[in-house]
Amino acid sequence: MLIGTSKGLPGEFLLLFTLLIWVLFFLVYLGNRHNRLNRWCFISGMCFSMGVFKEYLYFTLFPAVMQAWPGWMTEELSLDIYSVLTAVLYYFAMPAALVFGFYFSRMDERRPKLFRWARIGVFVPALLFAIWAQSRVSTTYRKYSQGRSARGMTAAQVCRQILDENGLFQIRIERVAGNLTDHYDPRANVIRLSDTVYNSTSVAAIGVAAHEAGHAVQYAVGYVPIRIRSAVIPISQFGSSLSMPVLLVGLLFNSGFLVQLGIVLFSTVALFQLVTLPVEFNASARALRTLESSYILESDEVKMAGKVLRAAALTYVAALLSSLAQLLRLILLFGRRDRD
């Protein structure tokens, strides 16, 4: 996993934009608090504002707080808050926007029975898909975290060896609290391995550590997809931040141009997740090749590590498919509105 690969938009801009979104949708709500359109517009808008707000918190506010009061805010806590807000964004914002679309198209009046099921159903697929992908990672990791590898090296030792073999002596390895919170931070030149991975000698832990080392090697060799990913990050941040406000404002003011612009902006989220896939798959492939060529793991252990990394890759595939499904729903619901 990659954390903090780009600073993206300035923190002050993210905060100001978040406040503007809050003011806009609060005014929409106050316009008619008893109107269902206004209520669902407010709910979806506030959920999507978390997409901007979480970036400001994680990349601007939390680092400043950690520097000023190191005992109060930790990297683990900041990552936990970031993850929760991300869950709010992806699991509730889009379904809320779709419910708003149902009300806007008067589906509740035209097809009341279908509407009752659809209002509930839009919240289910993304949630079930995410739960399944995450549970697959957890169960696979637990399965191959039992017992030690043949050579008995810890995950931290393996990570250090891979980095040194590639001349990356300047990159530090740190221990971070949590379970599977492992990540590479290119800004700080540090790989952070979680408590369950750092000192573990299991095949699963070694595979995870080697994967993170693979990201560091990607930066060192100038791997093209990771450069593209870094370039897309600010575009994706901008698009995900603006997409729903622009779409909802377009619907409220019956502007086909703004509706289609909102859909185009949302497509940048899917674009970011698309370019993330080769980065993650390549890091895993590098890890497995190194584990085998450096004789860190036996051949059967390399296969086990591969299963762990493939299960982890499913979470990125799930995120991409979920975004594509949401994009398709937006197109079907609103894409032809300017022609109606």
Beta strands of the chain (E only): which ranges?
172-176, 183-185, 190-194
Catalytic, out of 55, 75, 212, 301: 212
Write the DSSP symbol of residue 32.
Answer: -
Burial of 50 (0-12, 13-18, 19+ CB in 10 A): buried
Q: Which of 236, 246, 235 is nearest to 25 (CA)?
A: 246
The CA distance from 82 to 53, in Å, is: 10
Dihedrals φ, ψ of 100, to 5°?
-55, -45
End-to-end CA distance of the chain: 44
Q: Is the dihedral of CA 248, 257, 260, 103 positive or negative?
A: positive
Give the CA distances from residue 117 to residues 27, 121, 249, 303, in Å, rounded to whole numbers and listed in that order: 30, 6, 26, 44
3-state secondary structure of 203: helix
12 is a catalytic site residue? no
Q: Which residues contact 285 (CB under 8 A, 6 or more apart)?
A: 214
- Other C-beta atoms closer than 10 Å to the C-beta of 46 total 20
Q: Are 316 and 233 in contact (CB under 8 A)?
A: no
Task: Give the residue numbers annotated as catalytic, written as ranges.
Answer: 212
